[in-house]
């Protein structure tokens, strides 16, 4: 079956069980201050579980766009390296709001996987909650006995609170959960080591594909658990993993969810994807994954930016750019060319990208071009920093320089450092960031773009005591906007302008570029660098 057919069969199956099929909510969360992005299928139904709203339908099924790149759900470093982690992914789910409970959820899970998708029953394992004596939560005997109707007892495993008890937060609805795992190893490997020994042990071929959460308690502010007046079912099945299992692949990236994107990358770069663990193959996987997060998030209304959710997208985009620049030897914008492929692939299930393809492609291309202008210089700079590093740790000031001057997100510098067997001083970087925030707190409404480096000439600094008029060059500049007005900050190789210091106001004057005159409105020091503010 194709991925399109697999997705549709899931929705059709639950429609036959009287579920209302609803569309995915946006990947960008606008009305929940606790989330930047939708990171689970249940997010759009949160108010139903909390009792703030009543659902129009007691049974619902959907496929939800999710993004996990921040907070405790952060798999960014594994993306492209292993076989099954992603930034953006689809979560198939079926939901019961006070309607059916464990018996039906378990029976339908087994029916869909084994009778509709025809998965080998002997490769499936399930987990149920073992109970928690400290919390006073009993073993989930009900789920255990329901599973005994469908699967041998030696493949029903008990899991602890970490793996088999789901909680929305410190307070609110919660309950035990029952996971379904599949063993994708070869017959010989299965003979050597039983699959049950590898469940929930991070084995790349023994993976969880479905989780049934049974919400039956409410966690009070005092920490106690009180039975809910109505019991709910909240399930989630990773679409990409499901497709991999059904199509008999060893990696999510070998399925038709990604092969169309790989083909497009091959055509653009003249490189071939071989599925290995080389840097080139990892680059293919990173790009194919990241392009989905970038495209769908922008289509859902979140533009790349320097703060908040917008910066998460900018980080992902720049990470992808660095991979094709360094490992596919492609020095021109690439990601925007993949957008039509992605939009067409998902046109029927997530049409918002297809409907805005020109706009999204334009935004992505502009972002790529902006980063490519500084990427080469930044990579050369990090090589210099590595050469000067003597204790296997890149200092925080250098990490901040790469961030502030060349637009390198922290995780990108961390990735490059790891490739060179180095670490970074994250605490030192955080200190530099805090110092910058303190300097700019008075200008909280300031929107600052990345520095654009145009000249690497060594700065000679201030010569204003001797000369008020000199010939010099612009080393770098950036655009700043505040209260609807736009200015530029410029750093000169040599300057006659005295920087604001010791209670004295920074110098003003003008810069002449051929026949054009630019007014300098103030001069300040930032990180020991003299910066000119120009209209």
- Strands 494-495 and 509-513: what pairing? unpaired
Indicate the helix (H) or strand (E) that contains 500: none
Q: Are residues 290 and 213 in the same domain?
A: no
Decide if 379 is inside a domain: no
What is d(CA 138, CA 143) in angstroms, rounded to the nearest whole number? 12
Domain residues for 527? 447-534
Q: Are residues 272 and 173 in the same domain?
A: no
Q: Are residues 463 and 439 in the same domain?
A: no
Q: Is the dihedral of CA 336, 340, 341, 344 positive or negative?
A: positive
pLDDT tens over the chain, length 535 residues:
999 999 999 999 999 999 999 999 899 887 777 678 877 777 778 777 777 788 899 999 999 999 987 544 456 677 878 877 899 999 999 999 999 999 999 999 999 999 999 999 999 999 999 999 888 888 999 999 999 999 999 999 999 999 999 886 677 788 999 999 999 999 999 999 999 999 999 898 999 999 999 998 888 877 788 888 888 999 999 999 999 999 999 999 999 999 999 999 999 999 999 999 999 999 999 999 999 999 999 999 999 988 888 888 998 999 999 999 999 999 999 999 999 999 999 999 999 999 999 999 999 999 999 889 888 888 888 888 888 888 888 988 898 988 888 888 888 888 888 888 888 888 989 888 888 777 666 555 667 888 888 887 776 678 887 888 889 999 999 998 876 788 899 999 899 998 876 556 788 999 999 889 999 988 888 777 888 888 8
Sequence-separated contacts (24+) of 369-372 with Cβ below 8 Å: 369/333, 370/407, 370/449, 370/450, 371/317, 371/318, 371/321, 371/407, 371/450, 372/321, 372/325, 372/331, 372/332, 372/333
How many domains does one find in the chain?
A: 4
Decide if 382 is inside a domain: no
Decide if 376 is inside a domain: no
Query: How high is the pLDDT of residue 18?
Result: 97
Query: How high is the pLDDT of residue 73?
Result: 46
What is d(CA 239, CA 66) in angstroms, rounded to the nearest whole number? 11
Final residue belonging to a domain, choices 310, 340, 369: 369
Decide if 381 is inside a domain: no
Q: Are residues 40 and 91 in the same domain?
A: yes
Q: Are residues 365 and 490 in the same domain?
A: no
From residue 452, give the alpha-carbon distance in Å to each of 64, 173, 281, 346, 406.
Answer: 38, 50, 31, 36, 8
Model confidence, pTM: 0.77
Query: How high is the pLDDT of residue 247?
Result: 96
Find the CATH number of the domain harbouring 451.
2.40.30.130
Q: Are residues 430 and 400 in the same domain?
A: yes
Q: Are residues 25 and 161 in the same domain?
A: yes
Q: Are residues 434 and 482 in the same domain?
A: no
Q: Are residues 453 and 436 in the same domain?
A: no
Query: How high is the pLDDT of residue 72?
Result: 47
- Say how many Å lie between the first and final Cα of the chain, rounded: 60
Instruction: Tell me the two tokens of residue 236.
Output: 């989630």
Q: Are residues 301 and 347 in the same domain?
A: yes
From residue 276, give the alpha-carbon distance in Å to each of 34, 51, 256, 501.
Answer: 39, 49, 17, 57
Contact 240, 257 (CB under 8 A): yes
């Amino acid at each position: 079956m194709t991925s399109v057919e697999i997705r549709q069969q899931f929705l059709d199956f639950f429609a036959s069980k009287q579920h209302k099929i609803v569309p995915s909510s946006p990947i960008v969360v606008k009305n929940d201050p606790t989330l930047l992005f939708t990171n689970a299928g249940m997010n759009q139904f949160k108010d139903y579980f909390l009792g703030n709203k009543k659902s129009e339908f007691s049974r619902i099924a959907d496929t939800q766009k999710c993004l996990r790149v921040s907070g405790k759900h952060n798999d960014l470093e594994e993306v492209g390296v292993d076989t099954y982690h992603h930034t953006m992914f689809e979560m198939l789910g079926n939901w019961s709001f006070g309607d059916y409970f464990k018996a039906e959820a378990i029976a339908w899970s087994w029916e869909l996987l084994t009778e509709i998708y025809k998965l080998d029953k002997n490769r499936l394992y399930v987990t149920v909650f073992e109970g928690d004596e400290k919390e006073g939560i009993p073993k989930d005997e009900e789920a255990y006995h329901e599973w005994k109707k469908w699967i041998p007892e030696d493949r029903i495993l008990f899991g602890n609170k970490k793996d088999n008890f789901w909680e929305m937060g410190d307070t609110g609805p919660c309950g035990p959960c029952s996971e379904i795992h599949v063993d994708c190893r070869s017959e010989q490997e299965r003979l050597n080591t039983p699959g049950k020994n590898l469940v929930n042990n991070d084995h790349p071929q023994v993976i969880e594909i479905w989780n049934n959460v049974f919400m039956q308690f409410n966690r009070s502010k005092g920490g106690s658990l009180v039975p809910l007046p109505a019991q709910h079912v909240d399930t989630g099945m990773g679409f990409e993993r499901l497709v991999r299992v059904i199509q008999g692949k060893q990696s999510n990236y070998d399925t038709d969810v990604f092969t169309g994107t790989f083909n497009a990358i091959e055509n653009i770069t003249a490189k071939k994807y071989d599925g290995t663990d080389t840097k080139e193959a990892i680059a293919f996987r990173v790009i194919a994954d990241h392009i989905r997060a970038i495209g769908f998030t922008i289509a859902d209304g979140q533009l790349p930016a320097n703060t908040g959710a917008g910066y998460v997208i900018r980080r992902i985009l720049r990470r992808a750019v660095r991979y094709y620049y360094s490992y596919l030897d492609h020095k021109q914008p690439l990601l925007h060319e993949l957008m039509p492929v992605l939009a067409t692939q998902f046109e029927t299930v997530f049409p918002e990208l297809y409907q805005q393809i020109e706009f999204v492609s334009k935004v992505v291309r502009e972002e790529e071009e902006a980063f490519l202008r500084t990427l080469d210089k930044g990579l050369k700079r990090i090589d210099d920093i590595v050469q000067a590093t003597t204790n296997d740790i890149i200092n925080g000031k250098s990490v901040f320089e790469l961030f502030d001057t060349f637009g390198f997100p922290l995780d990108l510098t961390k990735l490059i450092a790891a490739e060179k067997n180095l670490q970074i001083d994250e605490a030192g970087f955080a200190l530099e960031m805090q110092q910058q925030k303190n300097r700019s707190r008075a200008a909280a409404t300031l929107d600052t773009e990345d520095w654009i480096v145009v000249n690497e000439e060594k700065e000679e600094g201030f010569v204003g005591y001797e000369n008020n008029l000199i010939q010099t060059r612009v080393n770098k500049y950036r655009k700043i906007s505040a209260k609807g007005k736009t200015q530029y900050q410029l750093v000169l190789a040599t300057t006659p302008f005295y920087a604001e210091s010791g209670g004295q106001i920074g110098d003003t004057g003008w810069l002449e570029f051929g026949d054009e005159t630019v007014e300098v409105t103030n001069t300040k020091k930032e990180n020991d660098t003299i910066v000119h503010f120009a209209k």
